[in-house]
Each structure stands twice: as structure tokens, then as C-alpha cells.
Chains A and B, each alone.
Chain A
Amino acid sequence: MNKIILVAQREFLTRVQKKTFLLSTIGLPLIIFVFYGMIIYFSVKTTDNYKIAVADKANIFNGKIGSKDKEVIFEFVPSDTAALQASIAKNDYQAYLYVPASFTLDGKDSLQFRSAKSVGLMTREKIQSKINKALEEKRLLSFNITKEQLDSIQKEKEYIQFSSASGKTENETKVGVSYAVGMISGFMIYIILFIYGTMVMRGVMEEKVSRIAEVIISSVKPFQLMMGKIFGIGAVGLIQFLIWIVLVFGIQFAIAMLFPSLVQSMQGQPIQPAGMQAAHAVQESGAMSGAMKGLSTINFPLIIGCFIFYFIGGYLLYSSLFAAVGSAVNEDPQDAQSLLLPITMPIIFAIVIMMKAVNDPNSGIAIFGSLFPLTSPIVMMARVAYGVPEGVTLFQLLLSMALLILGFLGTTWIAAKIYRTGILLYGKKITWKVMWTWAWKKN
């Protein structure tokens, strides 16, 4: 045990004292924020007005389509098609919408929309939804429905209350926040497994390639060397993650305080980085104050506790496998690629299941994924975000944790056997088949 600590200490210190550690620890959040900044910049910038001339010969729209908006502007003009063509050619307008005098609301006629240049997907969607919405309203009104009736139809969805069997109300914000929290923590564990798993693998390869392995193995058991490395790098990961979290929240907070208007314009953006998709869900389900209320309904001690447990459990489970692969690789790092495939497959699988679980935490696949140790660190986070017992029963959670511990012991046992043989073997190209026979060799 003493020697495991010694090895872990070296692994930790040599990594933390490197300049690259400082760069990546501080640089990465900065890069993320430059990225954010660019999104903000472009989202502010894309408010180029898209001016559309509307020639409403049938007077369907009564001079108004949708609410006022900076991005898409409808201007009603009395011109005919020829004049409209000319005006878009002159670039007075980007496009025109022609409503022929014969246009009726029975849904048989179609409208003509012509633009000088092809319309981008986002703008097209916006224009389409505005016109459709306006048409829909007009059409409903044409069925002798009063304005009040129409309003009451549109209010309909607020009459439904979703609640669990136990009678607890689940408002939409809570579901949205759970979705966001599940998604983010699942992704974070996914990233951790990859970053620190490959770090372990490269560390093992370095020892093998620099031929120090046998020198060390003569004073330390291979298992101690492997575990020391795994613990040392795990500690690096934990520290790095803590710094990141503090930095990310710190910078985010600072930005929000300094430029409140930017934060506002961030909301409702259609293009967002993968991690922000989740945040988008929060915004869809209500204003920021609602989200804050939603956040307060989330059981954070449970989620943080589970996150740390699955972070450590998942890391330990996978890093020993990464170490086993590292020990089997010779000089050629390309060999690692093909050997890694069986390890990366379940991780990617887990992310796919997690995407499903975050929408439907109690589906069969989500339950399987959250119990199976190779996928549970990622999938369970999606379910836990919905809370106990709404997202996951206490029994399943405990079972999943127990299985993860067993899984970790299992992979470590197998990996240690592969590692012990692999680390001293030079010059042979190793396949998984060979590694498998090492794993079951006695002694």
C-alpha cells in the first residue's frame, strides 16, 4: 500500500508540475469562453433585418403578420409582381410574398414567396412559422370562432398538470432542469473517462517504451505500479475538474454581472454547443427565474454525491482497462487505436443510451444501461437527475452502485493480469485474443 502511494505521488506531481497542466487547466475554460463569446457575438450580429415585401391583394393578413421582430420584417406594399421583382432586384427588399386576390383561407391555395438569394434555414423556418401562424389564426377566425374562444384554445395546455403517482407535482421547469443536469453530468463523466483513461494508457506506454518498467517491477509489484498510476492520475483529474468548475462558474458569473444584455440575447439561440442543448431545454420551459426555481427543486446533495461516486467508479473501471491496453502496445502508438476499440465502444454506447434515458428515465434500455457497470456511470447520471424515486428507485440505484464496484474489481483483476504480462513483453504485436489468454492464465 505504501508503495502504491509512492507511485501515485510521483504520477501526480510530475503531471501537476508540468507547464502543460497549467496551460490546459486554465486554458481550456478560456477556450470554452472564447467559444461562448463567439456564439454571443454571432447571435447579436445575425440580427440583420430580413425585409420582406408583402403584396396582400386578398387582404388576408390585415396588414400584420406576427409580432414585431428585428430579424424578419414584413412590409405591406400595394405593388404588383413586376414592381416587386424590380424592388428585390434593387435590393430594397430581400424577398417578397405575393398573395393573389383570389386567395382564400380554405387551404387549397398556396402563397408565393420569392427571394433574391436563397434563404438560410433558420430564417426560412422563422418566416414559415410566422406566416403559418398568422394564416392559422385567420383560418380559425374564419370558422366563426370569436377571438376569446381562440385565446382559450391556445391556453389549453396550462390545464394539464403532470404529477407522479405519489401526488407530487412535477412542473415543466423541474423536468427541464433535470434534463439539463442529467445531460451535463452524463457528458462530463463521458469526457472524464476519455481524457484520464487515455492519460493512464499513455503513462503505461511511456514506461514500457522507455524500458523503465522492468527496473520498477523489480522493486514494486506490477499491480502496485498500475494502481499507483491510476490513483495518481485520478487525483490529477479530480483537481483539474475542480479548478475547471470553479473557473467556469466564476467566469460565467463575471460575464453575467458585467454584460446582462448578452446573457439575455443568448437565450433562445437555435445554435448551441452540445452541452448547451441541455441548457436550452431549461430556457424553453420557462424564464430564468423559473429555472432557478427548478434548480431549487433538484436534490443537489444526491446528484453531487452520485456524480462523485460514478466519476470515481467509472474512472477506476475504465482506467484499468486503458492501462491493460497501454501495457500491450509496443513502440507503435497506432496499435493502440485498434486495441482501444472494445473499450471505447461501450462508452459511446453509454452516451447513446444516456440521450434516451434523459428523455425517459424509466424505459427498459435506461434501466439496463444504468445497471450494467460498463455504461452505468454515464447512464445513471441521467436518471438520478430526475431524483429518487421519480427517476430511479433507491433499490436500482444501490444495485447499480454495487454492480459498479463489482465491475471495477472485475476489470482491475483482469487488467492487472494482462498488465503484468504485457508490460515486460517487447517486440510482439498483441491482439485482444492474446490478452484474453493472459487474463485467464494462472499465476
Chain B
Amino acid sequence: MSKILELKNLKKYYATQKAVDDISFSIEKGSIFGLLGPNGAGKTTLLRMITGIFYPDQGEIILDGQQFDPINDIIKIGYMPEERGLYKKMKIGDQALYLAQLKGLSKTEAMAKIKFWFKRLEMESWWNKKVEDLSKGMSQKLQFVITVLHEPKLIILDEPFSGLDPVNANLIKDEIYGLAQRGCTVIFSTHRMEQVEEICDHIVLVNLGKKILDGTVTEIKQQFKENIYSVKVHQLPANLNSDAFHIVDQTANLLTVKINEGKNSNDVLKYFIEQNLTIESFNEVLPTLNDIFINLVDGTKATTRAFQPIND
């Protein structure tokens, strides 16, 4: 698969901090990509550079095989920022039309696409309403439609599910899958790790303006696994002692064990079989992204760095 976006050594320094400090990664076409990081890690700055709002101080952005041109490539990108809103007093239909035209669509083109999406998401009756009449969830839905309306190659969604109820969240989630299947690439920025695990193919974790993790979700989980297994046995013996593992946690007859250095899962199984204990289940326990995230970010004082001077 070819790459839709490549970032090479991007840097953006502000007066008081290195917002983005030498970040490189690439995104496969048609994938759903998660950009993770704690508050103030530099995600928004990074996204603003990808969308052409900011110019990088250094580094290159390659979009769809070509040097990124912020003025002409706008049509290829759909960006739903975290700080988002709409004109409160403007009619929804007019608003969608205006924003689509700003992207570079002609009036007739824009009209056809708006009708298509409004029908698809059952928003046709909204046309003459004003944004101030919509609930938060409804305006979120409208915001999503406006972002993807011009069928951009690259869709960037910053916290797309905040404020949505489970039904609408699922609706949007299905649309995201659908867009990815049709060849769109989705960059997804969030703090909600369970959504990332569910949706994303590939993730990058940034902290303090640097990339600290890059890979597919399964790769990363494998990378951070700690050889922990859960074993369920029919009956527990009075004494459990093996040089293959030690018990980390125990609830009733469900054991969580960590395999000792130099041993493997078969050694654990062998032990139970030799003890003649019936094994009901045996699973590897992989760390959740949440654990990995907290593990990596915790203690770096990530959130307070805005007030720290740069030392270089």
C-alpha cells in the first residue's frame, strides 16, 4: 500500500516550548490512524501543520506523494478540530453550502453532496433550522458531515465522539469505517483509549513534542507484553509452587501469573498438567493501550510543560 501522508522531521517551536520537536511518521492509504498523547503533547500543533494552518519551522510534509501545498491541497483534507463550532444564527443548509464552497466545491457540486449526506444521516428536516436550535449531539453530527462532505483523501478528526450518545457515536463510527473502505484515510486524535483500540489500525503516541511510540495496535501490545497469563483451573491445590511462574493476582480459581525469565507458556501448562490440575482456560493477558499510555506518560510532567523554559 502506498503512503498518503509522510512527515519528515517536523519541528515547530514556540517562544516558551518546543511544541513539536522532530517528529516523523507515515500513514498508509485507507488506514485509520490514531494520534495519541496527553494534553499539551503537541497533537493540535501537529494537526494544524498537517492541515496547513501553521507552517512548520523545519521538516517536510508529503501528501499523496507530493510536497504539501497548503493552498491547493485544502480540498484533499477534511479537518474537524477540537475547538469547533458553527455560526449560531445561520441556517444549517446555507452553512453547509458555504463551508463546502470554501473548500473549493462549486455550488451545484456542493448542493448534491450535502443532499446525499443529509439523507444518509437523516438530517433532511434540519435544512432551514439554525444551529442554535440543535442539541450538542446534533451539531456534532452536522460538524462531521461538513468535515467529510467534500470526500477528502485525508480526514482528520480531533475527539470526534465527545458529546455523542452511543447510538450516534456508533453511526459516526460506521461512517468512519465506510470512508476508510472507500479509500479515505482517517487520522483520529483522542484520549479515549478504548476507542483507539477498537477503531485504529496504526497508532503514534507523542509526548513532550516527541514521538515515543509508533506501530500497529497489535505490534505495540506485543511489544509491551509482560508475559502475563490468566489460568483458570477446576480446583486449586493447597500449595502452588513452581519455578516457571509466580502468581500476580488470584480471584477464586482464576489465577493471573507472570512467567519467569527463561521460561515459556508451555512450562506453565506442564506444571499444571504434572500436578494433575484440570485447566479450564489459559489466555495471554496483553496490556491495554490505556496501561501502556499511562505507563509511558506518567511522571513526565507532560501537562505542566507549557510553563517550563526550554533548555538548549
| A-to-B contact residues, CB < 8 Å | 3, 6-7, 10, 14, 206-207, 210-221, 424, 426, 437, 443
**Pairs A–B under 8 Å by Cβ, sample size 8:** A3-B102, A10-B98, A14-B87, A218-B51, A218-B52, A219-B104, A437-B15, A443-B55
| Chain B residues within 8 Å of A426, by CB | 83
Do the beta carbons of A219 and B99 come within 8 Å of each other? yes
Q: How many A-B residue pairs have CB under 8 A?
A: 61
**For the complex, is B86 an interface residue (Cβ under 8 Å from A)?**
yes
The 7 closest A-B pairs by CB, nearest first: A211-B85, A218-B79, A214-B81, A210-B85, A219-B102, A212-B85, A218-B51
- A207–B102 Cα gap in the complex (Å)? 15
| Chain A residues within 8 Å of B52, by CB | 218
**For the complex, is B199 an interface residue (Cβ under 8 Å from A)?**
no
Do the beta carbons of A6 and B85 come within 8 Å of each other? no
**For the complex, is B120 an interface residue (Cβ under 8 Å from A)?**
no
| Chain B residues within 8 Å of A212, by CB | 84-87
| Chain B residues within 8 Å of A221, by CB | 70-71
- How near does chain B come to A176, taking the closest CB pair, in angstroms? 48
| Chain A residues within 8 Å of B71, by CB | 221
| Chain B residues within 8 Å of A214, by CB | 53, 81, 83-84
| Chain B residues within 8 Å of A217, by CB | 53
Do the beta carbons of B84 and A6 come within 8 Å of each other? no
- A302–B77 Cα gap in the complex (Å)? 51
Do the beta carbons of A218 and B98 come within 8 Å of each other? no
- A437–B53 Cα gap in the complex (Å)? 19
- How near does chain A come to B110, taking the closest CB pair, in angstroms? 11
**For the complex, is B136 an interface residue (Cβ under 8 Å from A)?**
no
Given the known A-B contacts A214-B84, A221-B71, are A14 and B146 also in contact in the complex, defined by CB atoms under 8 Å? no
| Chain B residues within 8 Å of A220, by CB | 102
- How near does chain A come to B189, taking the closest CB pair, in angstroms? 13
**CB under 8 Å from chain A, chain B span 54-112:** 55, 57, 70-71, 74, 77, 79-81, 83-90, 98-99, 101-104
| Chain A residues within 8 Å of B104, by CB | 219
Interface majority SS (helix, strand, loop, mixed), chain A: helix
- A10–B89 Cα gap in the complex (Å)? 12
**CB under 8 Å from chain A, chain B span 167-211:** none
CB contact between B102 and one of A216, A437, A443 (< 8 Å): that residue: A216
| Chain B residues within 8 Å of A219, by CB | 74, 99, 102-104
| Chain B residues within 8 Å of A10, by CB | 98
- A151–B35 Cα gap in the complex (Å)? 97
Do the beta carbons of A210 and B74 come within 8 Å of each other? no
- How near does chain B come to A218, taking the closest CB pair, in angstroms? 4
| Chain A residues within 8 Å of B55, by CB | 443
Given the known A-B contacts A215-B99, A218-B74, A220-B102, are A14 and B89 also in contact in the complex, defined by CB atoms under 8 Å? yes
CB contact between B86 and one of A3, A215, A424, A443 (< 8 Å): that residue: A215
- A215–B88 Cα gap in the complex (Å)? 14
Centre residue among B48, B99, B102, B146 by max chain A CB count within 10 A = B102
Do the beta carbons of B89 and A211 come within 8 Å of each other? no
Given the known A-B contacts A6-B101, A210-B86, are A215 and B74 also in contact in the complex, defined by CB atoms under 8 Å? no
Do the beta carbons of A216 and B81 come within 8 Å of each other? no
Closest residue of A by beta carbon distance from B147: A215
| Chain A residues within 8 Å of B84, by CB | 211-212, 214-215
- How near does chain A come to B216, taking the closest CB pair, in angstroms? 28
Given the known A-B contacts A217-B53, A218-B79, A219-B74, are A14 and B85 also in contact in the complex, defined by CB atoms under 8 Å? no
Do the beta carbons of A6 and B102 come within 8 Å of each other? yes
- A213–B79 Cα gap in the complex (Å)? 12
- How near does chain B come to A23, taking the closest CB pair, in angstroms? 16
**CB under 8 Å from chain A, chain B span 93-146:** 98-99, 101-104, 143, 146
CB contact between A218 and one of B57, B81, B85, B86 (< 8 Å): that residue: B81
| Chain A residues within 8 Å of B98, by CB | 6, 10
Do the beta carbons of A216 and B53 come within 8 Å of each other? no
- How near does chain A come to B68, taking the closest CB pair, in angstroms? 13
Given contacts A10-B98, A212-B84, A443-B57, 6 further A-B contacts (CB under 8 A): A6-B98, A14-B89, A211-B83, A216-B102, A219-B74, A220-B102
Do the beta carbons of B102 and A424 come within 8 Å of each other? no
- A219–B83 Cα gap in the complex (Å)? 15
Closest residue of A by beta carbon distance from B131: A210
Closest residue of A by beta carbon distance from B103: A219
- 1/0 per residue B28-65: CB within 8 Å of A? 00000000000000000000100111010100000000
Do the beta carbons of A218 and B53 come within 8 Å of each other? yes
- A430–B145 Cα gap in the complex (Å)? 34
Do the beta carbons of B53 and A215 come within 8 Å of each other? no
- 1/0 per residue B12-24: CB within 8 Å of A? 0001000000000
- A267–B295 Cα gap in the complex (Å)? 86
- A6–B95 Cα gap in the complex (Å)? 12
Do the beta carbons of B88 and A210 come within 8 Å of each other? yes
Closest residue of A by beta carbon distance from B88: A210
Centre residue among B48, B52, B81, B90 by max chain A CB count within 10 A = B81
- How near does chain A come to B85, taking the closest CB pair, in angstroms? 3
- A3–B99 Cα gap in the complex (Å)? 11
- How near does chain A come to B87, taking the closest CB pair, in angstroms? 6
Do the beta carbons of A424 and B101 come within 8 Å of each other? no
- A163–B71 Cα gap in the complex (Å)? 61
- How near does chain B come to A28, taking the closest CB pair, in angstroms? 22
Do the beta carbons of A210 and B87 come within 8 Å of each other? yes
| Chain B residues within 8 Å of A215, by CB | 79-81, 84-86, 99, 143, 146
| Chain B residues within 8 Å of A206, by CB | 87
- A218–B49 Cα gap in the complex (Å)? 10
| Chain B residues within 8 Å of A14, by CB | 87, 89-90
- A7–B103 Cα gap in the complex (Å)? 12
- How near does chain B come to A431, taking the closest CB pair, in angstroms? 15
- A424–B55 Cα gap in the complex (Å)? 14
- A437–B70 Cα gap in the complex (Å)? 25
Closest residue of A by beta carbon distance from B51: A218
- How near does chain B come to A6, taking the closest CB pair, in angstroms? 6
- A215–B100 Cα gap in the complex (Å)? 11
Centre residue among A212, A213, A424 by max chain B CB count within 10 A = A212
